[in-house]
Chains A and B, each alone.
Chain A
Amino acid sequence: MSFANLTNVTRRYTKGGHAVTPLEGVDLTIEAGEFFVLLGPSGSGKTTLLNLLAGIDDADEGRIEVAGTDLTAASSRELARWRSDHIGYVFQQANLVPVLTAYENVDLPLWLLPLSRAERHQRVSLALEAVGLSDRADHRPGQLSGGQEQRVAIARALVTDPDMILADEPTGNLDAESAAGILHLLQRLNSERGKTIVMVTHDPRAADHGTRIMHLEKGQLHAMTSDESEATSA
Chain B
Amino acid sequence: MKLTKLIWRNLFRRPGRTFLSVCGIACAMTLLMLVESLSMGMSEALSGDESARTLIVYRKNRYCPQTSFLPEWYTTRIEDVPGVESVLPVKVYLSNCRASLDLVAFQGTPVDTLLKARAIQLTDGNMEQFRTEHDAALVGSDFASRKGLSVGDAFRFGDIDVKVRGIFESEAAIEEGLILTHLEFLQRAGPVNRLGTVTQFEVKVTDASKAREISREIDSLFATAEEPTDTRAQVAFLERATRDLREILGIGRLLGFACVIVVLALVANTVFMSVQERVREFGVFRTLGFREEHLGWVVLAESLALSLLGGLVGLGVSLAILNGMHLSIGTEGVPVNFATSPVLFARGLGIALVTGALAGLAPAIRSARAPIVASLRSAT
Contact = CB atoms under 8 A, between A and B. Distances in A.
A84 B288 contact: yes
Contact of A89 (B10, B13, B287, B292): B287
Interface string B262-297: 000000000000000000110111111111100000
Which of A57, A77, A80 has the most B CB atoms < 10 Å from its CB? Answer: A80
A109 B291 CA distance: 12
B279 to A, nearest CB: 12
11 contacts: A56-B283, A56-B287, A56-B373, A56-B376, A57-B373, A77-B291, A80-B291, A81-B289, A83-B289, A89-B287, A99-B9
B376 A91 contact: yes
A95 interface: yes
Nearest to A109: B288
A51 interface: yes
Interface in A86-139: 87, 89, 91, 95, 97-100, 104, 108-109, 111-112
Interface size class, chain B: 20 to 34
A54 interface: yes
B289 A112 contact: yes
Contact of A112 (B6, B10, B290, B292): B290
A139 to B, nearest CB: 15
Contact of B289 (A80, A91, A97, A104): A80
Interface in B1-31: 2-3, 5-6, 9-10, 12-13
A100 B281 CA distance: 12
A223 B13 CA distance: 47
B181 to A, nearest CB: 64
A35 B228 CA distance: 106
A56 B286 contact: yes
B290 A80 contact: yes
A56 B287 CA distance: 7
Nearest to A166: B287
A84 B373 contact: no
A211 interface: no
Contacts of B12: 99
Interface of B: 2-3, 5-6, 9-10, 12-13, 280-281, 283-292, 372-373, 376
Interface residues of A, number: 25
Interface in A53-94: 54, 56-57, 76-77, 80-81, 83-85, 87, 89, 91
A95 B281 contact: yes
A99 B284 CA distance: 14
Contacts of A156: 288
Contacts of A104: 5
Nearest to A120: B2
Interface string A150-180: 0000001000000000000000000000000
Contacts of A95: 280-281, 284
B372 A56 contact: yes
A51 B304 CA distance: 34
A99 B15 CA distance: 12
A80 B290 CA distance: 6
A79 to B, nearest CB: 9
Nearest to B292: A76
Nearest to A101: B9
B290 A54 contact: no
A99 B13 contact: yes
A100 B10 CA distance: 9
Contact of B288 (A57, A89, A98, A100): A89
Contacts of B291: 76-77, 80
A12 B173 CA distance: 74
Interface string A14-42: 00000000000000000000000000000
A100 B284 contact: no
A80 B288 CA distance: 8
Nearest first, the 9 closest Cβ-Cβ pairs linking A and B are A84-B289, A99-B9, A56-B372, A111-B2, A83-B289, A80-B291, A95-B284, A109-B288, A57-B373
A81 B294 CA distance: 12
Contacts of B286: 56, 80
A108 B376 CA distance: 18
